[in-house]
Structure 1
Amino acid sequence: MSSAVQIQVADSHLYPGCAVRIANLPEPACASNVAEARVEFADGSGAHATCHRRAHDELELTVERYATQKRHPIDARHWLLLAVDATHHSWRVKRRLP
């Protein structure tokens, strides 16, 4: 993939129920279903991540360690996201994965 997936989070961190917008998500039929991503949080902070399509409406998101704009450190975490709409632009965090 030539460009990273752009992910916008409606808060300064991810948590179950959090709204997420995703642009340029590879189609589920893509060979690897894994893509590099750039996560942009509502407070202006950002993090590198990878996303993996588990199923048509499920996405695993692994976000690297980052700091919020208020310098609060957030450890690397792994999340399960579910699609909210048929266009796969709106997602919600379902739960944290081990």
Structure 2
Amino acid sequence: MSDSIQIQVADSHLYPGCAVHIAHLPEPALAAAAIVEFADGSGANATCHRRAPDELELTVDGYATQRRHPVDAKHWLLLAVDATHNSWRVKRRLP
């Protein structure tokens, strides 16, 4: 999907406090398809939705890390770290 949002994660999985880089965000109130690229080279499909200018919901499909460790699908809340909205941190897991 060439129109997918590209999300880079600083580790092989997401967790509270994990750093995330997003170059182009979806418009507020719109859900957008995303490709999540993890630091170990693994990847997953996802959907992201801006709840507020500094809050993003990210739903990541299940995937396997490069070491073949399975990671279940999860739903996360991310908060912007800077005014450019390129740097984010995972705040917490959502139900």
Q: TM-score range by the shorter chain?
A: over 0.9
Letter in 2 for 1:72: H
- Whole-angstrom distance in 1 between the partners of 2:22 and 2:4: 11
Partner in structure 2 of residue 87 of structure 1: 84
- Whole-angstrom distance in 2 between the partners of 1:23 and 1:14: 18
- Whole-angstrom distance in 2 between the partners of 1:64 and 1:26: 18
Partner in structure 2 of residue 68 of structure 1: 65
Task: Give the number of equivalent residue pairs.
Answer: 94
Partner in structure 2 of residue 49 of structure 1: 46
What are structure 1's unaligned runs of at least 5 residues?
A: none
C-alpha deviation, 1:27, in angstroms: 3.5
Q: Which TM-score applies when normalising by structure 1? A: 0.92
C-alpha deviation, 1:20, in angstroms: 0.1
Residue among 75, 78, 83 paired with 2:75: 78
Partner in structure 1 of residue 55 of structure 2: 58
What are structure 2's unaligned runs of at least 5 residues?
A: none
Q: Which TM-score applies when normalising by structure 2? A: 0.95
Partner in structure 1 of residue 23 of structure 2: 23
Provide the alpha-carbon RMSD of the alignment.
Answer: 1.0
- Whole-angstrom distance in 2 between the partners of 1:43 and 1:63: 16
Letter in 1 for 2:36: V
